Structure 1
Amino acid sequence: MPHIQPLPQYVALGDSYSAGQFIGGDTNLVREPVDGGLGGPDGDYSGRSKDSYPQQLARTVLSGYEFIDVTCGGATIDDRGLGLGGILTPQTVFGGPPYIPVDGSGVPQFTPTPRPAQIDALSKATTLVTIGIGGNQYNLGQIIAKCASLGASAIGSPGTDYYRHTEEGRADLARKEEDLRDGFAKMMPELRERAPHAKFFFVGYPTLFPTADPTLFPTAEGQGTCDGGLDENITIKKGDMPFIQQQFDLVDSVIREAARDHGHTYVDIAESTRAHHVCREGTEKWMFGLYARYTFDEELHGYKPARFPAGKDMPPFSPGWTAWMQGMLAHGDGIFRGNETLTTFHPNKRGADNQTRQVTTALRTAGII
C-alpha cells in the first residue's frame, strides 16, 4: 500500500487584527459548529472573517496546506491577571460579531464557553505559523479610551499630556510595556516547544493615525476630526493622534525584536499603510474608524456592518468586553450612536488585502512558496 504524505499544516494565531474582525459583518463570518461547545447558535463570537489575511492565504498561496485558524478578537498572550486569555491561556472575553444576545436591560443571555488556548492548536505536525498578537497585551484600547475620555473636556493633547507628564500616566505606560515584554518572553519558547518544526511569521500592526499632516485635520484647533472614522463629536483630539500611533509603533518594535531574537520572521504592516490610515478617504482608506455608519457604501468600505439597537444602549458585547470598553463608551453622544457599528480602528477589506500581500511577500522571500 503506497505511503500517503501528509499535507503541510498552516496554523493561524492572533487577535482581532488577524481574525479580520468586522470585515463583512455578520454575513462574512467563519462560524464553528454549534456542537463545538463554543457558544450559542451563532458560533463562537471570535469575529473571524472569511476575508482575514489567514483565510485569504489559505485560499490562495497556501491552498495546499491543512489549515487551522484559531485567531480570535480580544486575544491576549496570557490572561494578564484579568481573566482574558488567548495564546497561552483559555480566552473568556469576546467581542463578536456575532454579538451575544441581551435582554431588555442589556444583560447577556448567556456566557460563551471559554475558548481553548490558541497554542493548543500547534503540534509537531505544524509546519507554518502566522501570529499577530500584542495589542491587547499592551492594552492599546485602554489608551485610546483614556484619550477619548480626557478629550471630552479638554483641547490640545490631553491624553498625551496625561501619559507623558503625570506620574500616574508614565507609570501606566511602564506597566503596559512590562506586561508586553514579559508576555513575549514567556510565549516565545513555548511556541517553539509546541511546534518544533514550524516556520513562524510574526505579523505587525497597521498604521492607525498620521503622525504629522495637518491637512488631514480640517477643523478647529483641538478637534479630532478625520474622515470616515471620526467626526466632530468624537472626543479623540488631533493632538493625541500622533501619541496613539506611537503606542502602536512601540508594540510593533517589541514584536520585531522578539521575532528577531528567536530566529523568526517579522512581517511589517505599518510602513505599507502609512498613507492609508483612518484619516484618508475612499479607496486610500484601509482602516475602519472608531465606528461605522450603517449607511456606508459596502463596496467603498469593504464590509456591511451589523446593526446596533437604536439609541444609546450599551452594545451587546459579553460582560468582560463591555467592561473593557467602558471608558470608550462612557460619553454616549461623543462615542456611541444608534444604528452604527463600533469598529474600534481595525483593518477594513482593503487593509486585510494588504496584510495578505505583505505576508505573501514574506513567505516568498523565505522560500515557503
Structure 2
Amino acid sequence: MRRSRIVRSIALLAAPAAALIAFAAPAAAATVRYVALGDSYSSGVGAGSYISASGSCLRSTKAYSQLWANAHAPASYVSVACSGAKTTDVTASQVSALSGTTTLVSISVGGNDLGFATVMQDCVLYSTTTCVNELNAAENTARTSLPGWLDTTYNAIRAHAPNARVVVLDYPRFYHDKWYCVGLSSTDRNKINEAADVLDGVISAAATRHGFAFADVRAAFGNGHEICDSGSWLHSVDWTDLVQSYHPTAAGQSGGYLPAFTAKA
C-alpha cells in the first residue's frame, strides 16, 4: 500500500510538470511579434510562389521569414521586405511596420546600395576588366560609405522597435570556382566572392556595433550549394527571368537562410 501511495503521489506531482513542459514552447511562441525587413534576399526573390498583393516587391511564401512563421506560429508576423530595397528604402518605408510591441526583427540589406544588380549584369555582359573594376569600386563603397548607411538604418530600427531582438543576415558567396564552371572567367568568379566577403564583413561589423545578432549564411551555401555545384541553391544568370538571377532558390531559403535565422532568433 505504501508503495502504491508513493507511485500515485509521484504521478500527481509529475502531471503539472508535464503540462508545463507541454505548453511552455507554444506559450513562448505566442508572445513573439515578428517583422521581416530588407531586400530581395528577404522577400524571397528566386524562390517562386510570390504573393500577388506584394506586387513588384516579390514576397514569396517560401521566403525564410514566412517559413519560420509557419513553423513557430508567432503572435503576429508581417514581411515588408521588398525587391530592390536599399538602406534608405528600409528607413523611409519599412521601419514604420515596427512598434514598441515588436519582439523580433530580421533584415538583409546592403547589396543594392552597392549596385548589386548592375555590377552582376556588367560582369556577365562585358570583359573581365570591366567586372573587376566595378567590383573594386563596389568594395570601396562598402568600406567607406556603407557603414554609415547601415548605422542610420539600424538606428531607425532600434528607435522603432526598442524591445526587439534584431537578426541581421548576410549574403552567400556565389561561386564554387571549378574548372568546368562555364560563363564567367575564374578571375571574375573569385572577385565576385571577394566582394561578397567584403560586404558581409561590413554588415557583420555594423550589426555588432548595434548589438544585433549576425546570421552568416556563407558556410551553408559553401557546403556544396554555390553556383556550379551540382546541388546549387542559387540561380545563375537566368535570361528568361533576369530578376531572379543570382538569388537563392526555394531550397536556398529553406536550407540556407532559414537555419541561419532560426539559430539566432
Do Structure 1 and Structure 2 share a fold, with TM-score over 0.5? yes
Cα displacement (A) at 1:276: 1.0
C-alpha distance in structure 2 between counterparts of 1:261 and 1:251, whole Å: 16
Deviations 1:99-154 (A, max 9, x none): xxxxxxxxxxxxxxxxxx01110111111001111111122222222322332xxx
Q: Deviation at 1:271?
A: 1.4
- The counterpart of 2:225, out of the listed 270, 273, 276, is 276
Matched, 1:263 2:263: no
Q: Does structure 2 conserve the Cα–Cα contact (< 8 Å) formed by 1:138 and 1:179?
A: no
Residue 22 (structure 1) aligns with: 46
1:360, 1:260 → 2: CA distance?
Answer: 18
TM-fit CA distance, 1:8: 2.9
Superimposed CA distance per residue, residues 69-121 of structure 1 (whole angstroms, 9 cap, x where no aligned partner): 1011100001xxxxxxx2012xxxxxxxxxxxxxxxxxxxxxxxxxxx01110
CA 1:119 to 1:161, structure 2 compared with 1: closer, same or farther past 3 Å? closer
Give the conservation status (yes or no) of the 8 Å contact 1:159–1:240.
no
Tell me the secondary structure at the aligned position of residue 266 of structure 1.
Answer: strand
* 1:86-235 equivalent positions in 2, closer than 5 A: 86-89=89-92, 117-151=93-127, 157-159=128-130, 161-163=132-134, 173-210=139-176, 213=177, 216-218=178-180, 225=182, 234=183
Is 1:49 matched up with 2:70? no
CA distance, structure 2, for counterparts of residue 187 and residue 258 of structure 1: 10
TM-score by length of 2: 0.81
Equivalent of residue 347 in structure 1, options 237, 248, 253: 248
Cα separation, partners in 2 of 1:159 and 1:65, compared to 1, 3 Å = farther
Structure 1 unaligned residues grouped into runs of 5+ = 1-5, 33-42, 79-85, 90-116, 152-156, 164-168, 219-223, 226-233, 292-335, 364-369
Say if 2:114 and 2:138, in contact at 8 Å, map to a contact too. Answer: no
TM-score by length of 1: 0.59
The alignment status of 1:249 with 2:197, answered yes or no, reads: yes
Q: How many residues align?
A: 233
**Take 2:139 and 2:34, find their aligned partners in 1: how far apart are those partners?**
35
Compared CA separation, residues 52 and 162, structure 1 to 2 (3 A): same
Work out the CA distance in 2 between the residues paired with 1:182 and 1:65: 34
Q: 1:170 to 1:345 in 2, by over 3 A?
A: closer
Distance in 1, Cα, partners of 2:76 & 2:132: 49
Name the CA distance, whole Å, in 2 between partners of 1:241 and 1:67: 37
Return the structure number with greater helix share.
2
1:140–1:247 Cα contact (<8 Å) kept = no
Amino acid in the other structure paired with 1:276 = H
Name the CA distance, whole Å, in 2 between partners of 1:246 and 1:65: 40
Distance 1:120 1:161, change over 3 A: closer
Rate the CA distance shift 1:250–1:161 in 2: closer, same or farther, 3 A.
closer
Give the match's secondary structure for 1:14: coil
Mapped to 2, the partners of 1:148 and 1:67 lie a distance apart of 38
* CA shift in 2, pair 1:189/1:48, >3 Å: same
Q: Percent identity?
A: 26
CA 258–180 in structure 1, closer or farther in 2 if over 3 Å, else same: same
Q: Does 1:73 align with 2:83?
A: yes
